[in-house]
Every structure is written in structure tokens, then in C-alpha cells.
Structure 1
Amino acid sequence: MSDLWQGALIGGRVWHARSGDAARSFRYRAAYLALPLAAFEAGMLPLRPDRPGLWRIRRRDHGARDGTDLQGFIRARLAPLGLEAAEVALVTTPRTSGYGFNPVSFWLARQGGHLRAVLAEVSNTFGEHHFYLIRHPDLAPVTPSCRIRGEKLFHVSPFLPRTGHYVFRFDAGPGRFGAWIDWTGPSGEIRLGTSLTGQAAPLSAARLRRAAMAHPLQAQRIMALIHWQAARIYLRGLPFHSKPAQLPCRLSGAEDRS
């Protein structure tokens, strides 16, 4: 079975469901990549950093977004936890045909053969970004049964307030990837469940080529789906929340057991 930290192509299924003031759900498919950072930045994978192509991964689309090395960025966030020597794989979607938008990427930190922390890199359609560092306080393994809670501090949807909390859950394989992020509003009445799940196959040049040919406009499609669903929600008359100024804090922790 494929190990995410060896490089993988994930055939993902993305699901969103809202309950409370308006029942609403939708789902779509998307291809994700699991990129072991050391091998990726050394140019040892079929997809190399910053190289033009139908599918492309740019350093300045992730982390500090200044084009510098990604390993330096994640090591600086993991070092205070004592995880500076952890193996890191970045689960993300590529730019397609020159365009890129990725609602969320996951930096997976493994040490001693176990997932110890996840840095969730969340982006909104306004060009803003926030990082949630998810782990147990004692760095115990993050297993598929673990549910870790953190406060919501970043505006994503105009139909949800920037309050409430998330509950995170992860399954890092082997042979699969799963991420579940559930939001509950401050009153507890409105809830949003989201997930990304899929089987992981070893990353090869042939698989990468076939996936790029099958999904040449994936990023464009994701953005179109987001706006289409937003339009449908708006037409149902749900309250609209204007975007607040982003909080100065760009990195927050999630470490409470739910």
C-alpha cells in the first residue's frame, strides 16, 4: 500500500454538509498530491517545485508565500513542539493550467512511525490564509479515532460567522487519506461538516501524467463550484456576514480532545 510520506496521488472525494438554519450538502471529486517535502524540494519526485506544466506546485503558493523553501517554513513551526526532525508530507492540490486555488492543504508531521501533528493551511477566496496547528498536548499519535478541537479564528464563508469551534480528525493511511473538519457555531445550532477522503496510489510519472490530462482545469472547477454553491445559499435568504479584517494571529493551535 502507498505511504503518503513516499509520495502519493490521492483520488479524493470532497463533501460539505450544513445543518441547522438550512440543510444543504454537496460533494465533488478532486485529485490531491501527497508530497514528501525532502524529496520534493530535492527534485526527486515526478513533479518538481516551480516547474511549469499542466499541473504545477509553486513554493510561493504555500507556507510563507515568499518562494523560499517549504522545509524551512514547516520546521520553524514544528521546532517549538520538539518535532523539528519529523518527516513531513504536504497534501495539496496543484495549480492547473496556470491557475491555483486550494481551500485547504495539510502538512503531515510523522515521527517514530506515527502522525504527531498536522498543520492545516486554510485559504479563503479573498486571498487570505490561516494556519491551524493540530496535535495532542503530549504529542501522542494522532489516530483516526482522535478528535481534536480548536477555536475558529479565520473567515472562510460569508454565510458563517468567524466564531465557534472546529473538530479535526485525520486518517493518514497507509493506502488512503482522510481529513474531517466539523464546525459548530457559538449557539450550537448551526453545524457544518466537511471531509476529504480517498485512496492513495504511489506517485509515478505515468500516474501523474494521466491525472493531469484527466483534470486539466481542476482548480478552476473548484472555484466555480464554490461560487455556485454560495449563489444557491444566498438565494435561500441565509444571513450574509461581511468579511471582517483578518486577525493579526496567522497561526493558532488546536489541541483539546473533543
Structure 2
Amino acid sequence: MGRKVALVTGGSRGIGAAIARRLAADGFDVAITYAAEAGRAAAVAAEAEALGRRALAVRARAEDAGEVVAAVERTVATLGRLDVVVGNAGIAPYGPLEDVTLEEVDRVLAVHARASFVLAQAAARHLPEGGRIIMIGSSLAERVPYPDWTLYAMSKSALVGLTKGLARDLGSRGITANLVHPGSTDTEMNPADGPGADEERSYTALGRYCSPEDIAATVAHLAGEGGRNITGAAIPVDAGVST
């Protein structure tokens, strides 16, 4: 049996890049998708290759279902198999409820809900027994402590039902499906020294942000031998914001 292969969507930066690096460090060959930043995606792939892994960077916009499916197929064609898929690609819509347009609703649901379904469906055609599907959600799917995040929270909540359905649909094949809910995480999208960071920290039990590596560690556990009997779960990694 060859080395196991993981596909991480949205893997060029932030949480996705940390997950790709961690899985490569744990012995996986890795494929990542990116929407626009080819150079950064190539750099993450190069880090994996420096560890002796095979790596692949594929441009695939989450809102384009055809590109999502093509990324899965290219991963299998190039790296020979697919054992773990991590649905991480996302956007962060923010603003007053009254200002949200139907076009924004459609795009956010396409990126978070539809793309996740399409990714899981395409991956399920290739995953072997012991395969893993891991979605990256948000603590805002469970608790919304401040205004202007309704659309985002709704779109991430959809992943709860998706994960539970996948766990039932694929459990007979020995494939697990789980969801990781990050809280405030120190990335370019939401830096720990940003203008609203102190308020976000105040909502957590531990009084601090998570790091991308914190999220990656939980994903790695679910992807590894220790995660073989965890399925249908929504796991918060949020410094206690959902308590």
C-alpha cells in the first residue's frame, strides 16, 4: 500500500495551510486547492515536498462545483488515491442583516454548503475503508454572541446536518465524517491583534485566540488512527466560546 493521500481545500493560507503542513508532517502526501493565490499555494506544497512528501496545488474555486469535482479527480489521478478529504475553503461575510443581498446569500451557501456536499460526494467515490471526511465549520454555527453574522452562521450550521448524514451514509463502508468548529483563530482573516480581537477574546472561557495549528492538531487526530471510531461529531476548538 502506498502512502496515504489527503486533500485540503482552501489550503494556501491560514487554517487550511496549517492543516496541510500538519498532515504532511504526519506522513500524508497532500493536495491543496486555492482560489487565487497560486504562489502561496505553491509555497505550501513546497514545504510538504521538503518533508519528502508528494504534493499538488490545484486551482479550484469553491463556488464552482465543476472545479471542486475536478480537484478531487486530479488528486486521485496524480497522487494515486485519496484517503482523507478536508473541506476548509470558506469566506467570511459580515454586515447588517438588512443589507444582505440574495446574490450574497447564494454565494455564501454555494461556498460553504453546496461546495462541501459536492466535495464529499466526489470524494466518497474514491475513499477506501478507513477513509475520512473532515469539514471545517465555525463556533458561530453553535453560538452567535454578536450581531451581523447571520448569513455566515446559517451557512456553517448546514455542515452539522451534512456531517451527520455523511456519517450514516458512509459508516457501512468504514468511512468517518466529522466537523471541527474553530473559534476565533489568529489568521489574516481575523488577526489576534485586530480591532475587534479583545471583544472576541472576552467571549471565550480561556480568554485567548486559537492558533491555526490548534485546529490542525484536531484534524490530524481525526485523520489518524485515534480517530477511527469518531464519526458524526461536531468538535469545538474555540477556547470555550461555545460553553
Q: Same fold (TM over 0.5)?
A: no
Find the structure with the greater CA-based Rg.
Answer: 1
Structure showing the higher helix proportion among its residues? 2
TM-score range, shorter chain: 0.3 to 0.5
Normalising by structure 2, what TM-score? Answer: 0.33
| Structure of higher RCO (CA pairs closer than 8 Å, 6+ residues apart) | 1
* TM-score (normalizing by structure 1): 0.31
